[in-house]
Amino acid sequence: MESVLPGEGRLAPRSWWDSDAPSLLLDGSWKFHFSPDAAGLTIGFEEPGHDDAEWDLLPVPSVWQLAGLPAKPRYSPPAYTNVIYPFPVDPPHVPDANPTGEYRVSFDGPEGWPAGRRVLRFEGVDSHATVWLNGVLLGWSTGSRLAAEFDVTDVLRPGENVLAVRVRQWSAASYLEDQDMWWVSGIFRSVSLLCRPAGAPSDVFVHADFEAATGTGVLTVDATDAAGSPVAGRLDFPDLGLAGADAAVAHPLPGVRPWTAETPVLYDGTLTSDTEVITLRVGFRRVELRDGLLQVNGVPLLLRGVNRHEWDPETGRTISLETMRQDIALMKQHNINAVRTSHYPPDRRFLDLCDEWGLWVIDECDLETHGFFLNEWRNNPSDEPMWQPALLDRMQRTVERDKNHPSIILWSLGNESGVGRNLSAMARWVKSRDSSRLVHYEGDWDSGDVDVYSRMYADVPEVEQIGLLTESAAATDELDAHRRSLPFLLCEYAHAMGNGPGGLTEYQDLFDAHPRLQGGFVWEWLDQAITARNADGDDYFAYGGDFGEPVHDGNFITDGLLFPDRTPSPGLLEFKKVIAPVKLTIDPQTRAVRIDNRHDFLDTSGFTLDWLLEDSGARVDSGTMAMPLLAAGESATVGWPAELTAAAALLPAGTTPPGTHGERWISVTARLAADQPWATAGHEIAWQQAQVEFPAGPDRRLAAPSSARQSRHGSIGPVTIDPRTGLLAAVGDLAVHDARVTLWRAPTDNDHGIPHTERDTGKSMDTRWRAMGLHRLQHKLIDLEVGDQEITSTYHVGPAGSDQRAVVAYRWTSAEPDEAHLAMKVDPPAGWPVLPRVGLALELPGRLQHLDWFGLGPGEAYPDTTTAVRVGRFASDLAGLQTPYVFPQENGNRRSVRWASLTDSGAGILLIGDPLIDVTVRPWSSAALAEARHPDELTPDGFVHLDIDAAVGGVGTAACGPGVLPAYEITGPVTLQLRLRLVGADEG
């Protein structure tokens, strides 16, 4: 287990295929014995006659760390680290306390199989497996996410056979698998017994080239035996006109339909040898580096991608086919066209689905040595000669298994493994074996061994420089010239941890503007949490440290666009909107819509357009409009249909909320015209809104109700001001328990991160906010003036121990008896950092459980995550206003609110922005939100906590990337202006 070799006794790696050769799936309940160290290992367990009656049963495939959950781990617990190894860095040695699982399963030897070789195949075992069949040692293997096969022809026998496997969690190979994921172990992918008929190929390599200029495909299939010699085979592809064709001959095929992620055309056929019929699914396409760009079929790509770890909150690394389908369907539904298999080859069935449904794939080798970074890369396996066989083995097994998938366009050498001669050797081998794809690796910024310049988390200004070819030079002139000839990819960007990612639009604008910038991959697809159970018996999602790990990286594992149960997060909805492949631009002045087809290959024949006209969020009319037929990259402008033009000119039929002006908005939506495997007809692809001016007409304010309250000393309209404090005390009979300026928020994961601009100081925004005491402000009333129609108060607001303070002035006035107007000016001192928010925080009675608003919605939004929300009228109870991030943090802001009513059975208060406000409503305080570590720790405190903000700061991606862009920061004086009324029959 401490050998740096990749294994012994295995067969050479090969591609996977389906055929008529028989096989036996060995998945199911296996006997299992666990030992925390070598002292507890079972002597002789591999012998067929060993008594395992007292052993446990464990499913195969599965990981043993999740057995017993959600209640309690039955064996060793799961552990999460991002970079740091959970054991001393002493390669190739591993701890004596090495959790080990011993597996046994009995099966009957197959009967009636044709003559030939019998092969035992493991799809994935973490991290070191030693294998016996009927007491005979077959060998051992490492490379957890890679297939391993053993020849069992001479060991397999009729009747009962006993397969025994000893799996160690730690091995020398663990130094190569430090991949920002849960450390979990076991036989986690399928195990099968295969028949390889005599005379059948040992390997098959499909070459399906496409010449875009002529529309001609060229099909060749290399079938070889174990020695690499050709094996005769015949091709039958009815749709290609091939019948009994020689597989080894290049077959030109005019008029084939090429494979792309947008048009995933596969041709079904067979390769027949004397003893086997192999099923093939072939996609014709050509991947090349041409004119400095990554091109497929002669077209430069724009990758709108995600990084995907394989994970399920209940089964861990064992993923069902149904879950894979769900993942790809969700990707396609949200306009994602590419996936990087971070940081290892996925279950082979996932790639089958990428071929079938259409995704561009970067297939990554099972390699990461990131933990050596913490030791200044000393003894890094990427550059140590003794590790070269293991690294080459991993690359070879990646390529050989997956080489027949048309969806794969780049091979990736691995992730965050520094630099070194072994990576160069891997790149050379890949290029010698498969020249039909490009090579990727991010860790060497000079890019000498690769075909794309790849980076992680470069900020917007640097990405723009790269797009303009004005970035910093590489180490040598030769390397610099080479790198400037390459396309650029952000293999990781927009870290989707918690509330965010912010700033997606700015990146996409650069991708659209500069051809060299060929897109990127958001980190990452899914929150990798684990379903666990608390002391009260309630399930929650656990992250690093929740299982008592002495070394862990907390909730850094929950950084996905999907919540752990695969519910889309607000970040995924934002990403979908930003990367929409159809761009719609509405011009109300010319009564026209511009349609830009931003697909790389697909025309617009598969989409429809519809329109919706709303007044103040109420539907006026709707209909359809003609979608012009546009080839990929084309644009056109179409006029509004007559019925839309007529509807837009109508006077509003209804009324607007008290004291507000109405707004008329048109929305245009592009939808699927027909069912697809991943979505049904009518699925929304893209949308856009534009405001339409009302025709000239009377002011549509409503008159003040006749039941208006009389002004009195200390009151302005419906509000009562405490004469001692100058603070809002009540709205009508509705008590206000607290009402103070707020300049702080419960920190987001990005607020906890350190922005690039602060890397030298080591200070996160949360650290800076807390250092300034924004979470513990105290108020000193400086001046209070109470009149019949105006109340003004001025405060110094600052933290204990500091002479830095903001000046806050409130001015309450009323022009109507039942309405109060507030102008609150906040002037922060020059020494304070940019602020997370500026607004008024109210504590209201807990019975107010319903929010109705007109503004952006339906979901949350912040200044740099506003693309996916639209103007409309929305409603929700308090529970629906909370976003359940795995780690509790600031959430739920409703942005650009024109008016909002917070009520109980229709009675409550109405807020009217002057002109716009942001609104957040919670059943707990921001302080409680900041203290909680899991959502189940949040308990309603009997109040409704209402934040009314004049300004809200952006969220950025500083959890692992750039901070908030300057355009979304709050600096300088801010004024909140709003009007406040009672609503409901009882006026409160």
Of the residues 149, 364, 492, 524, which is catalytic?
492
Structure tokens at 366: 């099972």
Going by C-alpha positions, the residue among 791, 788, 743, 786 that lies closest to residue 765 is 743
Q: Which amino acid appears at position 108 of this protein? A: D
Contacts of 305 by beta carbon, 8 Å cutoff, 6+ apart: 336, 337, 338, 339, 340, 360, 362, 519, 520, 521, 522
* 49 φψ region: left (φ > 0), alpha (ψ -120 to 50), beta (else): alpha
**347 touches 328 (CB < 8 A):** no
Contacts of 879 by beta carbon, 8 Å cutoff, 6+ apart: none
Give the distance from CA 294 to its chain's centroid: 24
Structure tokens at 189: 């992918």
Separation of alpha carbons 236 and 244, rounded Å:
6
Structure tokens at 799: 């933290």
Structure tokens at 636: 């056109």
SS3 category, 58: strand
Please say if 987 is a catalytic residue.
Answer: no
What is the strand order of the sheet 18-19 is part of?
A: 18-19, 277-282, 267-272, 234-237, 242-246
Q: Which pairing describes strands 128-133 and 186-187: parallel, antiparallel, or unpaired?
A: unpaired
Q: Which amino acid appears at position 227 of this protein? A: A
With 0-12 / 13-18 / 19 or more C-beta atoms within 10 angstroms meaning exposed / middle / buried, residue 259 is buried
**280 touches 272 (CB < 8 A):** no
Q: Which pairing describes strands 943-952 and 907-922: parallel, antiparallel, or unpaired?
A: antiparallel
Separation of alpha carbons 31 and 12, rounded Å:
29
Separation of alpha carbons 253 and 124, rounded Å:
38
Please say if 416 is a catalytic residue.
Answer: yes
SS3 category, 353: helix
The full length of the chain comes to 988
**Per-position DSSP letters for 756-819, written without gaps between them:** GGGTTTT--HHHHHHHTTGGGEEEEEEEEEE-SSEEEEEEEEEETT-S--EEEEEEEEEEETTE
End-to-end C-alpha distance for the chain, whole angstroms: 72
Going by C-alpha positions, the residue among 300, 288, 289 that lies closest to residue 483 is 289
What is the strand order of the sheet 715-716 is part of?
A: 715-716, 719-721, 728-731, 734-735
CA angle 948, 951, 953 (to 5 degrees): 115
**208 touches 282 (CB < 8 A):** yes
SS3 category, 835: strand
Separation of alpha carbons 818 and 982, rounded Å:
7
* 782 φψ region: left (φ > 0), alpha (ψ -120 to 50), beta (else): alpha
Contacts of 425 by beta carbon, 8 Å cutoff, 6+ apart: 388, 391, 392
* Residue 66 phi, psi (nearest 5): -95, -5
Q: How crowded is the C-beta side of 725, counted as CA atoms within 13 Å? A: 12
Of the residues 123, 368, 416, 819, which is catalytic?
416
**277 touches 233 (CB < 8 A):** no
Structure tokens at 749: 């994961």
Q: How crowded is the C-beta side of 102, counted as CA atoms within 13 Å? A: 19
* Residue 876 phi, psi (nearest 5): -165, 155
- Give 300's strand partners: 295
Q: Name the residues annotated as catalytic.
A: 416, 492
